Amino acid sequence: MSESHLILDRLHRLVAEDRRPQAPLSARRGASSLFSFVTHSRERIAGAAFSRLSIVVIVEGSKELLSMGRQQRFAAGTMLVLPPGWSGDVVNDPDPATGAYRAIFIDFPDALVRRAEAAFPPPRGPFRLDLALDAASIDAIHHAGDGLMDACLPAPLVEHRVLEILMVLGMRGALPARAETTAEAVSALVRWQPDRAWTADRIAAELGTSNATLRRRLGLEGTSLRAVIAAERIARAETMLTEDGLSLREVALATGYRSPRRFAERRRAVHGSADGVV
């Protein structure tokens, strides 16, 4: 057995059977929980959404995420770090050799995340969802998983074990930065669903404020709702053009524009030139 399989084998006890949440993950509150997803046939979960920072550890099989206008596939041995507000479609594929897909899901209360952020301030800038599992993260997940599954352990001890995972993420620079301005909060919403028909009323409702307050706050920050949405959509589009090799038409539709011409106009307005070079 290879070293990578030996490492993953330590986590198999946590995914021995399917233990999915009964309520939507977008409504999660309270202490951390561990859920396991096990399937022996390809499954698609549409409209998945997480209200809290969460991790998904792929133990067996592979996972496909359709989010940010992109379609990305991740193999066993990958840990996905999903920021609060993440949303998208998920496809779980069993391993062809074993016939099973197995993954661990753990979410984190905001107060616990803040403790980790105090020790390891999250870096600003682009955020990467996927991390390769290493010895430190495997140890932390195994330790916390055992604690979350043991109903006899005191809650403070379980919390301490869960915090260990966040500390490992912090050490690896993998804690997602929080939105510090209204513009950043709007960008975070648009980022996961750039093709959605975002309106001021819809964004205000998502952020728990009013249309007028949203616009006033953005104005005080020296920007507008239209400018923030366009900048985020174009940023997603540039990634799809350079990293995914999609056509202009595919990128335009994936980022919410009705046609390549409309996309080109907005891209030119954001970058100042037709070809997107600043």
Residue-wise pLDDT for 151-186, tens only, equals 899 999 999 999 999 999 999 999 999 888 999 999
* 274 has a pLDDT exceeding 90: no
d(CA 228, CA 242): 21
How far apart CA 43 and CA 94 sit, in angstroms, is: 9
Q: Residue type for 50, please?
A: F
| Percent residues over pLDDT 90 in the chain | 67
> What local confidence, expressed as pLDDT, does residue 226 receive?
93
CB environment 66-101: b (16+ within 10 A), e (fewer): bbbbbbbebebbbbbbbbbbbbbebbbbbeeeeeeb
3-171 belongs to CATH 2.60.40.10: no
The Cα–Cα gap between 57 and 59 comes to 6
Residue 3 has pLDDT above 60, yes or no: no
Cβ neighbours of residue 102 closer than 8 Å, sequence gap 6 or more: 12, 15, 36, 37, 38, 58, 59, 60, 61
pLDDT of residue 101: 98
- Cβ-contact 189, 225 below 8 angstroms: no
| Spatial separation of the C-alpha atoms in residues 182 and 11, rounded to whole Å | 40
Domain boundaries, the chain: 3-171, 182-271
Q: Residue 135 pLDDT more than 80?
A: yes
Q: What is the pLDDT of residue 179?
A: 87
Look at the block and give the residue holding tokens 């939507």. Answer: 24
Q: What is the pLDDT of residues 185-226, one digit of tens each?
A: 999 889 988 999 999 999 999 899 999 999 999 999 999 999
CATH class of 182-271: mainly alpha
